[in-house]
Amino acid sequence: MKESQRKSVLAVGPFHPLQEEMEFFQLTVDGEKVTDVNVRLSYNHRGIEKLSETLQFDQVPYLVSRVCGICSASHPLAYVQAVEEIAGVKPPDRALYVRTIINELERIHSHLLWVGLGGHFIGYDTVFMWAWKYREPVLDLLEEITGNRNNYGNVKVGGCREDIPDELIPKINQELDVIEKKTEMLTKAVLDDPVLHARLKGVGILKKDDAIKYAVTGPTARGSGIAIDVRRDDPYAAYADLDWKVISQPEGDVFAKAVVRLLETFESIKMVRQALARLPKGPVAVDVKEIPPGEGCGHAEAPRGETFHYVRSDGGNRPVRHKIRAPSYVNVPSFKASCIGADIADVTLTLAAVDPCYSCTERIAVVDGHNAVVHDYEELLRLSREKTALIKKEIGAPEMKLEGC
Amino acid sequence: MQQNELNRQLSRIQAKLTGIDRKAGNRVFLSCEAENVYAVCRFLFSELGLRFVISTGIDATDCFEVLHHFSNDESGCVVTVKAFVRNRESPELDSITPLIPGAEWIEREMHDLLGITFRNHPNLERLILADDWPEGVYPLRKEVQT
């Protein structure tokens, strides 16, 4: 591959600074097969770790909730847990429950978002529309609790900023009932659909040993048979008090990851219900005056996997070092294991299965080794949808119907 | 591996360490000099089967610290290898990427932001900094102001 060809691809690539996670994937292909994956990232690096060193400990949660608009509860939570570890602070029980409820609501909306995008990539736009419709009430609930649909800014060192008002609990339960029914319908549509079986099974397989080598986490790991979950392994917030299970699937393909996310949504609904029923009385925060010198590691299970924060304090009022690792940082490089040797038509889907955010997949370029043809995102989306249509024709499947919407 | 077993296993690598520090129940910090970092990480990753989490590079004014965080998921224990890189003029230590491919990006990131060189890294190209960023300016070093 000549260097000049690669550079011309970069100039064509669409960059949308409005979206998060700027990444550029350059795939080298031989005919239909992908032979190499090259990733370039940090087009929109915001220097959050360095900025964090200029802020006071209680200002940092606002900053880190902006690391990601979709996991904007897990980052501040991991951060405050690291600081609480340094200071030896234990937040009140009610705060732990409120944190759990907000984080699980976040997981529900994030997983529904992913189901919608997955449908979009393979040409099931009805799934896209409906999944995003069901997601809306979850964002509305988060707005009612925290004041914001995203970037909730609800946790602080020592507890939470806002409480869940008791009069809101019946409404949350009501919405959960509706969401559960809709998710059941979506899950059934996915698990029973022969086209989806044919389209998603055996595609983009991440083998268990590759998953370990690339240190992947979250549904990406659990879809490859590695049943790890910070909520169970190193319990934080109120997870140890709740009755739930870790979902994992051994196959490692896109279908397995879809199943993991769909079933996890039910677990999250279950957890929010339990947490609401057991919500202890009392305050939601304790006063924290000073952060002593020391270092702490905080981690939380975000919808995409483990969010890890390392904080070091020298006894002043700002962190001297704050390291942030979002789950996509370890999940994305695993494409080297799951995409090489795959068909181009499967690449958008394989990348989407890791759920690295929409923006990532929009930044794909394909360099054809023989013809020096550059395909863009639209072309890849078309290829992926054509493959689905072809499978539908082959097995004579009817159009998928979503009932009771 | 349960926590007791982990603690017992960790004492096997003591000769390569300068200290073991236990904090907050399930946080362990293993301090070592830069030359031992590969051996310690190989022990944790290959022998004990701990999961690699991420690394943190720190400009600690008199030296650089490279922290490799691992997790023993069965007991929820985070084991951090803290390697001290004493040579501030040309900070250098062994890469762990040949052992753990998942460390490729973070070592490239530390190379970009702190100017630490990782020996035997398969691809120590720029990851974070733009191609036209000036050579020799490392944004995460303390002398660089925000």
Query: What pLDDT score was predicted for residue A32?
Result: 78
DSSP letters spanning A71-139 = STTHHHHHHHHHHHHHHT----HHHHHHHHHHHHHHHHHHHHHHHHHHHHHHT-HHHHHHHHHHHHHHH
How many Cβ contacts (< 8 angstroms) between chains A and B? 88
CATH code for position B42 = 3.30.460.80
- Cα–Cα–Cα angle for A366, A372, A374, nearest 5°? 35
Task: Give percent of chain A with pLDDT exceeding 70.
Answer: 86
**Number of separate domains in chain A:** 1
H or E element, residue A361? helix A358-361
Please, what is the average pLDDT of chain B?
93
Which residues in chain A touch residue B58, judged by CB atoms under 8 angstroms apart? 312, 321
Does residue A247 lie in a domain region? yes
Does residue A363 lie in a domain region? no
Is-contact A299 A306, C-beta < 8 A?
Answer: yes
Does residue A126 lie in a domain region? yes
Does residue B18 lie in a domain region? yes
Name the band, by pLDDT with cuts 50, 70 and 90, for residue A400: low
**Distance (Å) from the alpha carbon of A8 to chain B's nearest alpha carbon:** 15
CA-nearest residue to A85 within chain B is: B24
- Does residue B12 have a pLDDT over 60? yes
* A295 in contact with B, Cβ within 8 Å: yes
Does residue A317 lie in a domain region? yes
- List the domain range (segments joined by +) for residue A137: 48-329
CB within 8 Å of chain B, chain A residues 71-130:
85, 88
Name the band, by pLDDT with cuts 50, 70 and 90, for residue A150: confident
Does residue B49 lie in a domain region? yes
**Distance (Å) from the alpha carbon of B12 to chain A's nearest alpha carbon:** 24
For the beta carbon of residue B77, count every other beta carbon within 10 angstroms: 23
CB within 8 Å of chain B, chain A residues 212-231:
212-216, 228, 230
pTM for this entry:
0.90
- List the domain range (segments joined by +) for residue B19: 3-88
Does residue B29 lie in a domain region? yes
**Distance (Å) from the alpha carbon of B129 to chain A's nearest alpha carbon:** 7
At A174-227, the pLDDT tens digits run: 999 999 999 999 899 888 888 889 988 999 999 999 999 999 999 999 999 999
Task: Give percent of chain B with pLDDT exceeding 70.
Answer: 100
Bridge partner residues of B80 (DSSP) = B29, B69
Which residues in chain A touch residue B97, judged by CB atoms under 8 angstroms apart? none
Q: What ipTM was predicted for this assembly?
A: 0.96
Query: What pLDDT score was predicted for residue A403?
Result: 53
Burial category of B4 from C-beta neighbours within 10 Å (exposed 0-12, middle 13-18, buried 19 and up):
exposed
For the beta carbon of residue B64, count every other beta carbon within 10 angstroms: 24
Is-contact A161 A155, C-beta < 8 A?
Answer: yes
Query: What pLDDT score was predicted for residue A372?
Result: 46
Q: Which residue has the higher pLDDT, A266 or A383?
A: A266
Does residue B37 lie in a domain region? yes
The DSSP 8-state label assigned to residue B86 in this structure reads: -
* A333 in contact with B, Cβ within 8 Å: yes
Tell me whether residues A323 and B54 touch, CB distance under 8 A: yes
Among candidates A53, A308, A329 on the partner chain, residue whose Cβ is nearest the Cβ of B69? A308
Total residues belonging to chain B: 146
Average pLDDT over residues A11-19: 32
Does residue A374 lie in a domain region? no
At A95-144, the pLDDT tens digits run: 999 999 999 999 999 999 988 888 887 888 888 899 999 999 999 999 99
For the beta carbon of residue A45, count every other beta carbon within 10 angstroms: 17
Task: Give percent of chain A with pLDDT exceeding 90.
Answer: 55
Does residue A348 lie in a domain region? no
Does residue A175 lie in a domain region? yes
Tell me whether residues B27 and A51 touch, CB distance under 8 A: no
Q: Which residue has the higher pLDDT, B1 or A88?
A: A88
* Cα–Cα distance for residue pair A349/A122, rounded to 1 Å: 7
CA-nearest residue to B59 within chain A is: A321
Does residue B130 lie in a domain region? no
Average pLDDT over residues A45-59: 90
- Does residue B82 have a pLDDT over 90? yes
Tell me whether residues B127 and A42 touch, CB distance under 8 A: yes
Does residue B68 lie in a domain region? yes
DSSP letters spanning A275-344 = HHHH---S-SB-----PPSEEEEEEEEETTEEEEEEEEE-SSSSEEEEEEE-THHHHGGGHHHHHTTSBH
For the beta carbon of residue B122, count every other beta carbon within 10 angstroms: 11
CATH code for position A52 = 1.10.645.10
Tell me whether residues B23 and A85 touch, CB distance under 8 A: yes
Strand order in the sheet with A364-368: A33-41, A23-30, A364-368, A374-375
Among candidates A88, A234, A336 on the partner chain, residue whose Cβ is nearest the Cβ of B26? A234
Does residue A215 lie in a domain region? yes
Is-contact A63 A76, C-beta < 8 A?
Answer: no
Look up residue A391 and give its two tokens. 């499978």
